[in-house]
Amino acid sequence: MSILIDKNTRVMVQGLGRDGSFHAKLMKEYGTNIVAGVHPGKGGSTCEGFPVFNTAADAVRETGAECGVLFVPAAFAADAILAAANAGAKLVVAISEGIPVLDMTRVVSELNQLGTLLVGPNCPGLISPGKSMVGIMPGRIFKKGRVGVISRSGTLTYEVVNQLTAAGFGQSTAIGMGGDQVIGLKYNDYLELFEKDSETEAVIIVGEIGGTDEQDAAAFVKEHLTKPVVGYIVGRSAPPGKQMGHAGAIISGAGSTAADKVAALREKGVPVADTVEQIVDLIRERLGGSN
């Protein structure tokens, strides 16, 4: 199995400019079930063989799209997320970066009321290897398997997965959750889904400096997870006030340093790798062999 997406998930691509069109092609080539595109003014045309609509409402009504993936400029991205949700999409994956914090605060509140799940924003998306890829993941490095991956860092997602695949450990679903200050789904949401997924046998949490989401995840693992969880935290050498790529990755208060996060995870029984390579060793100890 997998979480959130599979081969049957009906996807609409919102924003078919240069980036959206390019990644729509790659997603379709991977096998993603893209049924529609959304781009104001381009309704009635096609892109990579799927129909394009002027609005998300039109796309959902005509094609039954249930997941929207956004390649929309930051100024319009919040409205595009809500347009997909109000049209009936149950999952939105926001690749867009630079969305204002106030916009996202409003969006997350409205999505909670609508019951729509949000991955991101400012994220690479997610992939269930061999089934569907929604976002900008490099599909060739992924392998179908039994390890779930949740990461705040896009590039670290790729590095961790590359190491896992090379060692023979495939992935059930891998998620780049986004590193902004305000995001949709968080570690605990994904952990709960992985716990319920019969084909996920272990989970990797990749964290970074900033906030206390990793500490929340550690407590959740202790209380609710029966499956082994392995951690990895980047930014251990970052000085206070240093931002590392993401708006949310900044040491700004108690509990937000890498050392704080490592300590919290280990205190709750989650082993934390010191290097990316060691992640594979920790997974091997808990699962044995490979996929």
How does DSSP assign 46-113, residue by residue?
Answer: EETTEEEESSHHHHHHHH---EEEE---HHHHHHHHHHHHHHT-SEEEE------HHHHHHHHHHHHH
CA distance 228 to 71: 35
Tokens of residue 24, six digits = 């729509």
Q: Are 10 and 63 in contact (CB under 8 A)?
A: yes
Compute the chain's Rg from CA coordinates. 18
- Which residue type does 212 have? T
CA distance 14 to 159: 28
Distance of CA 44 to the CA centre of its chain: 31
- Kindly report whether the peptide bond that precedes residue 121 is cis, defined as omega within 30 degrees of 0: yes
From the list 23, 39, 224, 246, the catalytic residue is 246
- Which residue type does 37 have? G
Cα Dmax for the chain: 57
Tokens of residue 164, six digits = 């896992």
Q: Is 246 a catalytic residue?
A: yes
Just list the catalytic residues.
246
